Chains A and B, each alone.
Chain A
Amino acid sequence: MQSRKKIRTKTSLRVLQVCIIILGLIILGRLFQLQILDYDTYNPLSRENSLRQEVINPARGLIYDRNGNLIVDNQPIYTITVTPASYDPKNTPILAELMDVPVEEVEKRVQEARDYSYYRSSRIFTEVDFETFSIIQESIWQLPGVGHQIESKRDYPVDSLQASHILGYLREVSKDEYLRTKSYHLGDKTGKSGLEMAYEEQLRGTLGTEYIKINAMGQNLGSYQDGALDESPKKGSDLYTTIDTELQLLAEDLMQGKQGAVVALNPENGAVLSMVSAPEYDIRKLSGRLDKTYWDSINADTTNPLYNRAVSGKQPPGSTFKPLMALMGLELGIITPETEINNPGYYYRGRRYNDLADPGKYDVGKALQESSNTFFFWLMDKIATQKGLDKWHELATSFGLGEHNNIDIPNEVAGTIPDSTFLNRVLGEGKWGIGDQLSLGVGQGFVAVSPLQMALVAAQIGNGGYKVQPHFVSAIRQNDGTMLLTNPKKGKIDWIDPDEIAVVKDGMRRVVTEGSGRYYADLDSVKVAGKTGTAQNPHGQDHGWFISFAPVEDPKIAVAVLVENGGYGSISAAPIASLLIEQYLTGEIDRSYVYNYVKTFEPKKQKTDEEEENIDDQSQGT
């Protein structure tokens, strides 16, 4: 009995010894595995843990106007962050008091941060004013888990200058974008429209990196190896634009309360002096923290303030197309400056096409001056039947219509200058005839152009037939100080003959001196040439157009104005264009009555009953 018990004790001892040694060896083996075999896995992990590669966003490039005045700047914004893991909820009342917000608000935001990540820092207050930021900064030692950072947002130093469709706005990159491009991080901002988008590459600069030591709470413990591995960011390039701030301010002022667009170009080189698409959005409200209410309101707005009518709009040009028609007629030899036709008050081709101009004898000059539809119906008839639609298309597109002009902001549309292929596609092969083409001669029917394109037409007639490249940026200053000039293209439109241009310029001058432009567009100080237009609008009141350039002999400015629902171009668009020309060429506005007239001009959305009745027998365009 005793010995059996002894044997049992001895066995038990052995069994337990073996168990202890096996389990001990398992532990030692595990240590061997972790510390010796997997050392190369864990050592970098611990280094990554305690070292953080911080991306430093470079200062975004600035934007200047044509006189070198700063129009887009950067402004620091102050952000308070919280790391929930190391945040002590007992400090909430202190934080609330410092931030001057209710305790519940702080609790709510900390909870949101906690829901996002327990160990990572989240922004809880953005765009904190500097004073509060300083106070928080001073008290940060007693608020573990609370951090701060300085970011930047766009600032627009010229008061009341919007230029929102030119400059564009920035937004945080979407998840798709940062996953696709790799050079962006979550939270980075990128240009979403205008110059900010087109010149994103240049404005953005090069990201810097900084290695900092951190603890598990994400607290910054200073630079690693005194910054030996750090790379400083490279500031973005600055843009020197062709924008004339004074002119832009006036254009925005004049377009206020209207829908439409203004484009003013330098006819010599295509530099955009001013571009307004009305209504505009408030560019300052889209800078920095997203104002959700405002963002939703402009997106829901039926007048679509985010849409750039100046380059994206597609409207029939109406009678502003006639100078180009005249040029084509002269070039194709269908008319000479002396060719006269009889206008009985309508043009007959299978049916009557009405004309608002008085009946009588018309040569091309008078036809432009009085905007005679009969003359241009007749001319279109001749071109279509003798030369063909495709010839007409070829000449019209050489002016930049119906195609992209590669302006340096996004969302430019080509518009439509129909050719036979187009009509075959839209109307069916062989199913269209002269009736579908006549209206093209007065800028109606399928013709669709943007205000930018009509400004180009004015500029290119004004400069004697030189095709110019529309552009905003004249030079880019890189962060090392070197200036890159953009050198926009310029070239003679080969079919243009100076004599033909002179006839058309003279006709356009007569529009202002004797024709429908004489009320609002004629200036004493400067010789203005132009052409009014009224685009038929099946949905409401017609759209008013005016294209012009001045001085007529050697134009320094070309302007196209579109006032949606403005009715006749001569009373809606012409005064705006003439005020811009006056301001630009004389530096002031003498005619305050025109200014007041424009400011009080109210486009009518809907046609009145009387006008509604007239629409059927009214001719196409004026």
Chain B
Amino acid sequence: MINLKELSWSLVIIWASLIAVGLVAIYSATQGPVAEFLPSYIQFNFYKQLISFGIAVLLLIGLQFINPRTFQEGSYVFYGLGIVLMILTLLIGKEVNGARSWLELGPFNLQVSEVMKIATILAVANYLTSRRNISAENLKSAIIAVSLIVLPAFLVILQNDMGTAIIFFALIPVVLFWSGLPYGISLFIISPAIIGYLTIISWYWGLIAAVIITLAIFMIQRRTWLTFTSFVTGVLLVIGIQVALNQVLQPHQRARIEAFTNPSFDPQGAGWNVIQAKTAIGSGGIYGKGFLEGTQTQLRFLPEQWTDFIFCVIGEEFGFIGAGFTVLLLLALTLRLLQMAAVHKHPFAQLVMVGVLTVFFTHFFINVGSATGLLPVIGIPLPFISYGGSALITNTLMLGICLNLDFYKRQFSIYR
């Protein structure tokens, strides 16, 4: 009955390659000459990641023996359990780097928000599958779906983990869009991100974007109220961000945002990470400085080089070729998942795959964007590459579920 040819081997190869790239980079970042400047617990990270890799392999295999219906039927239970754990984490969790997102379970530390991403994707996919298509006239189900995402996102914010919260928010437009949200409204709900980003760089760019997006929405949707709302929202956003930057934000918060637009403003403080990260990547050149040869990496100029800034290690030691290859691997991962979703007949599986690829892609884009100075520094890991057992295992879990749903796609439709 199980035909191994049905498994998406291309995804498995991409997955294994990404983890291999990650292990090489983590090795360089923690076991190279740099090791002498690192506390011993960080030097163990490479071996811990190896162990996590072993668990991930077993997990990926094991997941293929699970009945795909379980994910849909159990989704609300997982979701409810996840929310309970999230609240528990808030109450008794362990604080790491200022974020209270770790729950101690005997010898293991679990980052509940990682697992919560899967539970949320499953629950939202299940909910939207059970509803009629979303349309401009029927936004009720859309609002409930958004609430399902916003609740865990809110708890993540309470844990003081902005990076992960952004991942949850990124799910909203993509999942709704896939479920049939009209194009104009879809564009409208992602417009704040575009306008906000450009406003931080320069307020008139933000304003120009607001005008163009409003025109685009009008062209697509031709609804006066939507066009009007879009324009007002855009302008208010530009003004609001300007006021926030100049009046409301604390100096240290502003410093972090200014560090992204102008790192040399405070090169020893907030700008340090950005400058060192860009220097590491830029000095890698085409071919890189060679494995264990990166001065930025090995002389400890990079902060958190085994997690949030691991892309700099790859960029410095393996150059444009290595970094470009890594980017292409991650793009292949997401595009393959998207392709897989498009050919799947069951909307639940489609939504799960789209949700999962959104999580991967957002992680990738924000992480690499931060490291290359395209975005403000937001501390989130690079999927499958950054050090972190919880992240590797939950990312593999997400991929494994997608593989499972794809694997059983022929049988799947009958469960509808």
User: Which A residues, 1 to 37, have Cβ-Cβ distances below 8 Å to chain B?
Assistant: 5, 8-10, 12-13, 15-17, 20-21, 23-24, 26-28, 30-32, 34-36
User: Which B residues, 34 to 59, have Cβ-Cβ distances below 8 Å to chain A?
Assistant: 37
What is the bound-complex CA distance between A50 and B283, given in angstroms? 12
- The answer on a CB contact under 8 Å between B299 and A16 is no
User: Which A residues, 376 to 421, have Cβ-Cβ distances below 8 Å to chain B?
Assistant: none
- The answer on a CB contact under 8 Å between A39 and B301 is no
Say if the beta carbon of A49 comes within 8 Å of chain B: yes
- The answer on a CB contact under 8 Å between A21 and B331 is yes
- The answer on a CB contact under 8 Å between A10 and B342 is yes
Say if the beta carbon of A217 comes within 8 Å of chain B: yes
Partner of B282, one of A13, A21, A43: A43
- The answer on a CB contact under 8 Å between B368 and A27 is yes
User: Which A residues, 40 to 68, have Cβ-Cβ distances below 8 Å to chain B?
Assistant: 41-43, 45-47, 49-50
**Residues of chain B contacted by A50 (CB below 8 angstroms):** 295-296, 299, 301
Say if the beta carbon of A117 comes within 8 Å of chain B: yes
**Residues of chain B contacted by A119 (CB below 8 angstroms):** 268, 272
**Residues of chain A contacted by B315 (CB below 8 angstroms):** 31, 34-35
Say if the beta carbon of B363 comes within 8 Å of chain A: no
User: Which B residues, 106 to 144, have Cβ-Cβ distances below 8 Å to chain A?
Assistant: 133
| Residue from A21, A23, A117, A219 with most neighbouring chain B CB atoms (10 Å) | A23
Say if the beta carbon of A234 comes within 8 Å of chain B: no
| Given A20-B331, A43-B285, A47-B295, A27 and B279 contact (CB-CB distance below 8 Å) | no
The 6 A-B residue pairs with the shortest CB-CB distance in the complex, in nearest-first order: A42-B282, A46-B283, A215-B299, A50-B295, A35-B320, A13-B342
Partner of B283, one of A10, A43, A144: A43
Known interface pairs A20-B335, A49-B279, A215-B299; 6 further A-B residue pairs with C-beta atoms within 8 A, sorted by A's residue number: A15-B177, A27-B327, A32-B320, A38-B282, A47-B283, A215-B37
**Interchain Cβ contacts under 8 Å between A and B, 30 examples:** A8-B180, A9-B342, A10-B342, A15-B177, A16-B178, A16-B354, A20-B334, A24-B327, A26-B374, A27-B365, A27-B368, A28-B327, A31-B327, A34-B282, A36-B286, A39-B285, A42-B278, A45-B279, A46-B279, A46-B283, A46-B295, A49-B279, A50-B295, A50-B296, A118-B269, A119-B268, A213-B299, A215-B300, A216-B299, A216-B300
User: Which B residues, 287 to 346, have Cβ-Cβ distances below 8 Å to chain A?
Assistant: 295-296, 299-301, 315-316, 319-320, 323-324, 327, 331, 334-335, 338-339, 341-342
Chain B, residue nearest A39 (CB): B285
Q: How far is the CB of B213 from chain A (nearest CB, A)?
A: 15
Number of chain B residues close to chain A: CB under 8 A: 47
- The answer on a CB contact under 8 Å between A13 and B37 is no
Say if the beta carbon of B174 comes within 8 Å of chain A: yes
What is the bound-complex CA distance between A119 and B300, given in angstroms? 12
- The answer on a CB contact under 8 Å between A20 and B338 is yes
Say if the beta carbon of B284 comes within 8 Å of chain A: yes
- The answer on a CB contact under 8 Å between B372 and A39 is no
Say if the beta carbon of B369 comes within 8 Å of chain A: yes
| Given A39-B285, A216-B299, A31 and B323 contact (CB-CB distance below 8 Å) | yes
Partner of A5, one of B133, B282, B283, B284: B133
Q: How far is the CB of B240 from chain A (nearest CB, A)?
A: 25
Partner of A118, one of B268, B300, B323, B374: B268
Chain A, residue nearest B350 (CB): A9
What is the bound-complex CA distance between A16 and B281, given in angstroms? 28
Q: How far is the CB of B74 from chain A (nearest CB, A)?
A: 26
Chain B, residue nearest A45 (CB): B279
Say if the beta carbon of B280 comes within 8 Å of chain A: yes
Say if the beta carbon of A120 comes within 8 Å of chain B: yes
**Residues of chain B contacted by A161 (CB below 8 angstroms):** none
**Residues of chain A contacted by B335 (CB below 8 angstroms):** 17, 20-21
**Residues of chain B contacted by A43 (CB below 8 angstroms):** 282-283, 285
**Residues of chain B contacted by A27 (CB below 8 angstroms):** 327, 365, 368-369, 372, 374
- The answer on a CB contact under 8 Å between A35 and B319 is yes
Say if the beta carbon of B71 comes within 8 Å of chain A: no
- The answer on a CB contact under 8 Å between A12 and B177 is yes
Partner of B284, one of A12, A35, A216: A35
**Residues of chain A contacted by B368 (CB below 8 angstroms):** 27
Say if the beta carbon of B407 comes within 8 Å of chain A: no
Interface residues, chain A, with chain B CB atoms under 8 Å away:
5, 8-10, 12-13, 15-17, 20-21, 23-24, 26-28, 30-32, 34-36, 38-39, 41-43, 45-47, 49-50, 86, 117-120, 144, 213-217, 219, 221
What is the bound-complex CA distance between A41 and B264, given in angstroms? 14
| Residue from A17, A35, A43 with most neighbouring chain B CB atoms (10 Å) | A35
Chain B, residue nearest A118 (CB): B268
Contact with A along B255-290 (1 / 0, CB 8 A): 000000000000011001000101111111110000
What is the bound-complex CA distance between A231 and B95, given in angstroms? 50
Say if the beta carbon of B15 comes within 8 Å of chain A: no
Say if the beta carbon of B102 comes within 8 Å of chain A: no
Contact with A along B19-36 (1 / 0, CB 8 A): 000000000000000000
Contact with A along B353-366 (1 / 0, CB 8 A): 01000000100010
What is the bound-complex CA distance between A28 and B180, given in angstroms? 31
**Residues of chain A contacted by B342 (CB below 8 angstroms):** 9-10, 13
What is the bound-complex CA distance between A574 and B327, given in angstroms? 93
- The answer on a CB contact under 8 Å between B278 and A214 is no
Q: How far is the CB of B262 from chain A (nearest CB, A)?
A: 16
- The answer on a CB contact under 8 Å between A215 and B279 is no
**Residues of chain B contacted by A5 (CB below 8 angstroms):** 133, 180
**Residues of chain A contacted by B278 (CB below 8 angstroms):** 34, 42
- The answer on a CB contact under 8 Å between A42 and B286 is no
**Residues of chain A contacted by B283 (CB below 8 angstroms):** 39, 42-43, 45-47
Partner of B296, one of A12, A24, A38, A46: A46
User: Which B residues, 363 to 393, have Cβ-Cβ distances below 8 Å to chain A?
Assistant: 365, 368-369, 372, 374
Chain B, residue nearest A50 (CB): B295
**Residues of chain A contacted by B316 (CB below 8 angstroms):** 46
**Residues of chain A contacted by B365 (CB below 8 angstroms):** 23, 27
**Residues of chain A contacted by B361 (CB below 8 angstroms):** 20, 23
Chain B, residue nearest A215 (CB): B299
**Residues of chain A contacted by B301 (CB below 8 angstroms):** 46, 49-50, 215-216
What is the bound-complex CA distance between A49 and B280, given in angstroms? 10
**Residues of chain B contacted by A32 (CB below 8 angstroms):** 320
Chain A, residue nearest B303 (CB): A216
Chain A, residue nearest B320 (CB): A35
| Given A9-B342, A16-B354, A30 and B372 contact (CB-CB distance below 8 Å) | yes
What is the bound-complex CA distance between A8 and B178, given in angstroms? 9
